[in-house]
Amino acid sequence: MSNRREFAVQLCFGAGALLSASAFAAAPMVDEKDPAAAGLGFKADAATVDKAKFPKFAAGQNCGSCALYQGKAGDAAGGCPLFAGKQVSAKSWCSAYAKKA
């Protein structure tokens, strides 16, 4: 391959990688009023969970310590398979909480 063609191919792959990374980074946050979120009792701030309505909730539970949370340790937000295409705050909570092993 010539240098010009090689550069063009690499430029295309690089641009595709940047676009996919920016699309993930720009994922919207889950809204408490979203029907799927409301059905799971999702709260953007775990401190606001109604303990009478969700008796299984315990202090210290949040998305950051949930097995479903796809963000890295220390990330402010990350993905969750329950809310495809959206991110949840590490400080949020829902009734599907499962402690990380």
* Number of neighbours of residue 57 by Cβ within 10 angstroms: 19
Classified as helix, coil or strand, 93 is strand
In this predicted model, what pLDDT tens digit does every residue of 59-98 receive, in sequence order? 999 999 999 999 998 999 999 999 999 999 999 999 999 9
pLDDT at 53: 96
In this predicted model, what pLDDT tens digit does every residue of 15-44 receive, in sequence order? 565 555 555 556 999 999 999 999 999 999
Of residues 37 and 14, the one with the higher pLDDT is: 37
88's enclosing H/E stretch is: strand 87-89
This prediction's pTM: 0.73
* Structure tokens belonging to residue 18: 């940047």
Domain 28-89: CATH architecture, name and number where available = Irregular (4.10)
Q: What are the residue boundaries of the structural domains of the chain, listed by start?
A: 28-89
**DSSP 8-class letter at 72:** P
pLDDT at 35: 95
**What distance in Å separates the CA atoms of residue 77 and residue 70, rounded to the nearest whole number?**
9
* Structure tokens belonging to residue 87: 């991110």
